[in-house]
């Protein structure tokens, strides 16, 4: 497979769908918001965007399957599967806030080989493929070189429905508020990870996050020189609703701190 060619085609698909989402924002009808769960929203824009993405990706690899947030396709591929969030940060989109992003990853067997995150409000496309660095609108980017947690800017997010670990999360946030350059919750896991890959954040953690939120972004972090792991130390964390990510320099210190707060 020519990963570079496929990645370029995915970028083009994401760009087209980003234009659709941006145009729909000006005519968006809040009355059409649906609740999947408490604080977990979906709109016709999410659903239409996913259908457009899947239609484009099916042409690239006809035998591929899909793991998509809105369930527009449940087809399973024997070798290739796309992991898609058509609009990560729906609540931000509803309230006309940045960021909100498209996240597309290609899984070959059990390995992510392509990742694209398109942040719509700034028209920023972060992308990479197996064997390549990470690019932001064509320019190569890398994770930061921050060496200590004390000098790090940390990002996090809260799950929309599962609050079983909320006390742990609040304690972790309290620690990082007092002992880092600050902590940010911007409302899009895909954007958090893309920004980490580009060196804007130094570290990120979240519990209760879904595979489609993080598949592409976690791949970007690794391709840009960073590291990822599950909060419980699991290397195979993608479908286990948890992630710790950072640049490679601060990783050990950051992971040790986060895991301490989430021990059960």
| 149 DSSP 8-state letter | G
Strand partners, 37: 40
Question: What is the distance between the alpha carbons of residues 203 and 54, in angstroms, rounded to a whole number?
Answer: 31
CATH class of 149-261: alpha beta
Determine how many CB atoms are found less than 10 A away from the CB of residue 36: 14
| Domain ranges (residues) in the chain | 3-140, 149-261
Contact 50, 72 (CB under 8 A): yes
Per-residue confidence (pLDDT) for residue 46, from 0 to 100: 86
CATH 3.30.540.10 is right for the domain spanning 3-140: yes
Question: What is the distance between the alpha carbons of residues 264 and 196, in angstroms, rounded to a whole number?
Answer: 27
Per-residue confidence (pLDDT) for residue 29, from 0 to 100: 66
The predicted-structure confidence for 50-73, as pLDDT tens digits, reads as follows 999 999 999 999 999 999 987 777
Per-residue confidence (pLDDT) for residue 79, from 0 to 100: 97
Question: What is the distance between the alpha carbons of residues 144 and 126, in angstroms, rounded to a whole number?
Answer: 16
Determine how many CB atoms are found less than 10 A away from the CB of residue 256: 11
Per-residue confidence (pLDDT) for residue 10, from 0 to 100: 98
Containing 263, the helix (H) or strand (E) segment is: none
Per-residue confidence (pLDDT) for residue 192, from 0 to 100: 98
Contact 22, 122 (CB under 8 A): no
List, run by run, the mean pLDDT of 10-residue segments along the chain (264 residues).
97 97 80 56 82 96 92 86 96 92 97 98 98 98 98 91 85 97 97 98 95 98 98 94 97 97 79
Question: What is the distance between the alpha carbons of residues 204 and 262, in angstroms, rounded to a whole number?
Answer: 14
Per-residue confidence (pLDDT) for residue 164, from 0 to 100: 82
Per-residue confidence (pLDDT) for residue 254, from 0 to 100: 98
Backbone phi, psi, residue 203, to 5° = -160, 155
The predicted-structure confidence for 23-41, as pLDDT tens digits, reads as follows 988 777 666 666 654 444 5
């Amino acid at each position: 497979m020519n990963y570079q060619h496929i990645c370029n085609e995915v970028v083009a698909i994401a760009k087209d769908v980003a234009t659709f989402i941006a145009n729909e924002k000006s005519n968006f009808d809040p009355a059409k918001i649906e609740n999947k769960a408490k604080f977990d929203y979906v709109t016709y824009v999410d659903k239409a965007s996913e259908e457009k993405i899947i239609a484009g990706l099916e042409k690239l690899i006809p035998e591929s399957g899909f793991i998509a947030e809105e369930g527009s396709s449940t087809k399973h591929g024997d070798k290739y599967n796309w992991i898609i969030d058509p609009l990560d940060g729906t609540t931000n989109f509803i309230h006309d806030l940045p960021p909100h992003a498209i996240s597309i990853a290609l899984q070959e067997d059990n390995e992510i080989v392509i990742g694209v995150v398109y942040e719509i409000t700034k028209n920023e496309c972060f992308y990479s493929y197996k064997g390549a660095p990470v690019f932001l609108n064509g320019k190569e980017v890398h994770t930061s070189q921050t060496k200590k947690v004390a000098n790090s800017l940390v990002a996090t997010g809260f799950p929309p429905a599962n609050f079983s670990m909320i006390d742990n999360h609040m304690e972790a946030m309290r620690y990082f508020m007092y002992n880092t350059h600050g902590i940010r919750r911007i409302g899009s896991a895909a954007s958090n990870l893309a920004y980490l890959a580009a060196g804007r954040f130094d570290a990120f953690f979240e519990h209760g996050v879904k595979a489609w939120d993080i598949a592409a972004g976690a791949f970007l972090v690794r391709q840009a020189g960073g590291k990822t792991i599950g909060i419980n130390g699991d290397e195979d964390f993608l479908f286990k609703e948890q992630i710790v990510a950072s640049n490679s320099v601060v990783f050990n210190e950051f992971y040790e701190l986060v895991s301490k707060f989430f021990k059960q």
